[in-house]
Amino acid sequence: MNQFEQQIDAFLEYDYGVTARQATVPQLYNAVSKAAVKSLSVSPVSGKKACYFSAEFLVGRLVYSNLLNLGLLDRCRAYLAQNGFDPGVFETIEDDALGNGGLGRLAACFLDSAATHDIPLYGYGIRYRYGLFRQYFEKGFQKETADDWQNMGDPWAIRREEDTVIVVFADQTVRAVPYDMPVIGWGGNTVNILRLWQSEPVSAFDFEQFNLQKYDEAVAERVRAEEITAVLYPNDDTPVGKQLRLKQQYFFCSASLQSLVKESIRRRGDNFSHFAEDFAIQLNDTHPVIAIPELLRIFMEDYRMSFEDAFVLVRDTFAYTNHTIMAEALETWDTSLFLSVVPQVYPYVVMLQNSLNRDLKEKGVPPQEQSELQIISGGKIHMARLAVYATHATNGVAKIHSELLKSTVMPEWYRLYPERFQNKTNGITQRRWLALCNQELSAFITERIGNGWITDLNQLKKLEPYQNDPASLARYRDIKREKKLQLCHHVRIHEYGFELNPDFLFDIQIKRLHEYKRQLLNAFSILDIYFALKDGTLTDFYPTAFLFGAKAAPGYRRAKGIIKFINEIARVVNEDPQVKDRMQVLFVQNYNVSYAEKLIPAADVSEQISTAGTEASGTGNMKLMLNGAVTLGTLDGANIEIVEQSGMENNYIFGATVEELAAIADTYDPKVLYEENSRIRRVVDTLIDGTLDDGKTGLFQELYDSLLEGASWHRADQYYLLHDFESYCEAKLRVNRQYHNREEFSRKCFVNTMNAGKFSSDRTVKEYAAEIWGVPI
């Protein structure tokens, strides 16, 4: 037997006193993971090191992907089988969900790509005790439970007690203890590190209080320290402005910087003049932007640097990635709150503000134009402004998004510092999102063009000769069916025995629940089809399963209302014998990375229907394209680049463009559309006419009002659902008609896979390395 298998046996024997055949699944999981970790050696960084600061890393289940990259996956499966276990047995191990959605998943893809291409990129973040909540439905309403992801252990991480640092707040001081997770590149040659910080008390237990019989006080410090990293905020795209959130941000930024400063001292003593040549720090959105004044503070207070010297180093070190277009999503902190949490940092924000004012004066910016540029203004600290001012590069995450940053979101900053603005179109790792989740399609590709695509996704272009080969297309279709059957099996187990029909077209919308992502528009179109089938006005409809997966932030009432609405539609449709052999509707529970790995390979149609100008990039769209789904979408985010790569004729684009929406913004009146269009009226009225029931919560009435009445803080139908409704339904029915021609449709899917090369995060990370970090590739 080989070393890896022997190591597993040894861990089982040593840790649990069992043989493989006697072991429980958690015991096996821990032993397999530890055996793999033991085989690793972390690659030393000699030149410049890039650091990715992110409040979220949505890595997903690690055991299979790590074994895949190490080349041990097949051996592990064989080992499990030999010992009487199902090779998929680790699927019961929880998903690692220390992120909300796209932003955290992007961070995880970047780490995978960097390790694969020998780029020294290290992640820095927070080891939340509880990750994103788990979701289930009760009577169609979302319910949440805690994500206790450590309940089977955390064998991939190593606690580094010796690298503990102290983090100080106005009202408490805590220890930051790092847990290092190996990030294993393809082939296992490069191993980088994801360092996640956990908050712990400085003194574990206060004996003085205990002896005074004050038991609560004795543990109070522990409780307050652990609170900081207790739970991930479940808001995606909307800042919360809470004290604890600011504490989390400062906690991991200060700890990470202290750790880098120590590393710098190990390399060069306390001469920091080379800091920006040794380290590049990428800030994933504004969540870690507080690192900027914190590094200034460390340099000036602890190492007696002047502001001028420290600021040059800081600016050369940091770069900032913006993830949002919507103004309300740009993070600010109340000055008073900031002062009550980290008063020691505030003077450095003021210094940046003063420095900015000097620059504005020097550049002759007229006073009336200066107010939009103030970092501190109206009693708030504007984190995005601070970030653009104090970094050398600001990037958007898709071409259109980067253009909108310059023209609409921060035009005054673009005028000041045009050379700082860049684009880095997002990407995804093909290791997890094809090699791991779709081994059947991977084998198909490798049989035809070799396996070079695993580290160079542009090689998918070599599939071109097969796009008109009937045998290849037939096999490609068979694989899609195979993946549908696997999904049907998974759904049967996880959705109370739901029998999804594998002969149907699978139309899938999976992403966080947000008004701007327009799941409600999808719901309306499904109702429209349902009514047309019942009325007999729609014939020749290819039977379709409409699938949704999404979590709503627990405090986001409208998002929860939309989930309930779709679940009600599902109940009515699935129970209706008149349509049951032509449509199904299912909202899966607890959509996460592992569920995504099941859903994506089974999709025929990828729903990417955000209002033009609202989705910065999207990455779900790329995963689905790679796995051969056609995009039914708007000209928004990376959808634009997707159709650029694979052709308008192979996708289904509908709806208003950014320019068209800008032109009608002031005159748009959804009530007119509602009055004049009976199809619109019929589907919208289901919210209030008793067709569908929200259990007297008022949720459906509120959705209705949001479309037709608006509110104090937004206009009616601010995301233009009714405006795009007809064009969307038309496109959706066009997909459906063309799906009848199975051969021609599978060619479109195939062409999408073939042209997905651009959307590898390998490409994205190399662009960051070359154009922002100055790290050799």
Q: Which residues bind ligand PLP (CB under 6 A)?
A: 101-102, 105, 511-512, 592-593, 596, 618-620, 623
Q: Which long-range contacts (CB under 8 A, 24 or more apart) does 471-476 make?
A: 472/448, 472/750, 473/743, 473/746, 473/747, 473/750, 474/743, 475/444, 476/441, 476/444, 476/628, 476/746, 476/749, 476/750
Catalytic: which of 623, 723, 763, 766? 623
- Between 391 and 614, name the residue whose CB sits nearer to ligand PLP: 614
* Nearest-approach distance from CB 495 to ligand PLP, in angstroms: 17
Name the minimum Å distance from CB 197 to ligand PLP: 23
In 355-388, which positions are buried (b, 16+ CB within 10 angstroms) versus exposed (e)? bbeeebeeeebeeeeeeebbbbbeebbbbbbbbb
Order of all β-strands in the sheet with 605-608: 583-588, 544-549, 505-510, 605-608, 630-633, 652-653
120 vs 427, beta carbon nearer ligand PLP:
427
Identify the active-site residue in 245, 323, 401, 420.
Answer: 323
Looking at beta carbons only, is 188 or 620 nearer to ligand PLP?
A: 620
* Distant-in-sequence contacts of 764-769, Cβ < 8 A, 24+ apart: 764/110, 764/113, 764/424, 764/425, 764/426, 764/427, 765/110, 765/113, 765/114, 765/117, 765/119, 765/121, 765/427, 766/117, 766/119, 767/424, 768/50, 768/110, 768/282, 768/424, 769/50, 769/114, 769/119, 769/121
Q: Kindly provide the residue ranges of all beta strands, DSSP E only, lying in 24-172, ordered along the sequence.
A: 49-53, 121-126, 134-138, 141-145, 158-159, 165-168
Size (the chain), residues: 777
Angle made by CA atoms 84, 89, 95, in degrees to the nearest 5: 165
Q: Which is nearer to ligand PLP, 228 or 602 (CB)?
A: 602
Identity of the residue, 101 or 188, whose beta carbon is nearer to ligand PLP in the bound complex? 101
* Catalytic residue selected from 105, 517, 551, 763: 517
Q: CB 512 → ligand PLP: shortest distance, Å?
A: 6
**Residue closer to ligand PLP (CB basis): 472 or 760:** 760
Question: Known catalytic residue: 143?
Answer: no
Q: Nearer to ligand PLP by C-beta: 77 or 105?
A: 105
Exactly one of 129, 511, 560, 766 is catalytic; which is it?
511
For residue 224, count CB atoms less than 10 angstroms from its CB and return exposed for 0-12, middle for 13-18, buried for 19 or more: middle
Token duo for residue 227: 């609170």
Q: Which is nearer to ligand PLP, 384 or 593 (by Cβ)?
A: 593
Residue closer to ligand PLP (CB basis): 254 or 438: 438
Residues in contact with 55: Cβ distance below 8 Å, sequence separation at least 6, in sequence order = 125, 126, 248, 249, 252, 284, 285, 287, 288
For ligand PLP, which is the closer residue by CB, 311 or 654?
Answer: 654
CB of 53 to ligand PLP, least distance (A): 20
| DSSP code string of 658-682 | HHHHHHHTTT--HHHHHHH-HHHHH
Identify the active-site residue in 391, 619, 686, 764: 619
- H-state helical runs in 469-546: 470-494, 519-535
Q: Which of 127, 245, 512, 598 is catalytic?
A: 512
Toward ligand PLP, which CB reaches closer, 236 or 331?
236
| Residue in the shown chain whose Cβ atom is closest to ligand PLP | 620
494 is an active site residue: no
Minimum gap (Å) between residue 100 Cβ and ligand PLP? 8
Minimum CB separation of residue 522 from ligand PLP in Å reads: 13
Three-state SS for 326-341 is CHHHCCEEEHHHHHHH
Question: Is there a contact between 206 and 221 (Cβ–Cβ < 8 Å)?
Answer: yes
CA distances from 400 to 101, 104, 154, 331 (A): 21, 21, 40, 21
Report in angstroms how near the CB of residue 110 gets to ligand PLP at its nearest: 13
Helix (H) or strand (E) holding 742: helix 742-754
Q: How far is the CB of 401 from ligand PLP (least distance, A)?
A: 12
CA 750: distance to chain centroid?
Answer: 26
Which C-beta is closer to ligand PLP: that of 552 or that of 593? 593
Phi-psi region of 673 (alpha: psi -120 to 50; beta: other; left: phi over 0): alpha
**Minimal CA–CA distance to 246: which of 178, 334, 164?**
334
Provide, rounded to whole angstroms, the least separation between the CB of residue 489 and ligand PLP: 20
Instruction: Decide if 602 contacts 626 (C-beta within 8 A).
Output: no
Q: How far is the CB of 245 from ligand PLP (least distance, A)?
A: 21
Phi-psi category of residue 32: left, alpha or beta, with phi > 0 → left and psi -120 to 50 → alpha: alpha
Distance CA 211, CA 213 (A): 5
Q: How do beta strands 158-159 and 173-184 pair?
A: antiparallel
Active site residue 420: no
Smallest separation (angstroms) from ligand PLP to the CB of 312: 37
Note if 623 is an active site residue: yes
Neighbours of 2 (CB within 10 A): 9
135/755 with CB nearer ligand PLP = 135
Residues 693, 141: contact at Cβ < 8 Å?
A: no
Check if 392 is active-site.
Answer: no
Sign of CA dihedral 453, 459, 464, 466: negative
Provide the residue type at 589 as one letter. Answer: Q
Write down the residue that tokens 């109206």 correspond to.
378
Q: How far is the CB of 105 from ligand PLP (least distance, A)?
A: 4
CA angle 333, 338, 340 (to 5 degrees): 145
512 is annotated as an active-site residue: yes
Beta carbon of residue 362, minimum distance to ligand PLP (angstroms, whole number):
41
Supply the residues annotated as catalytic: 323, 511-512, 517, 619, 623
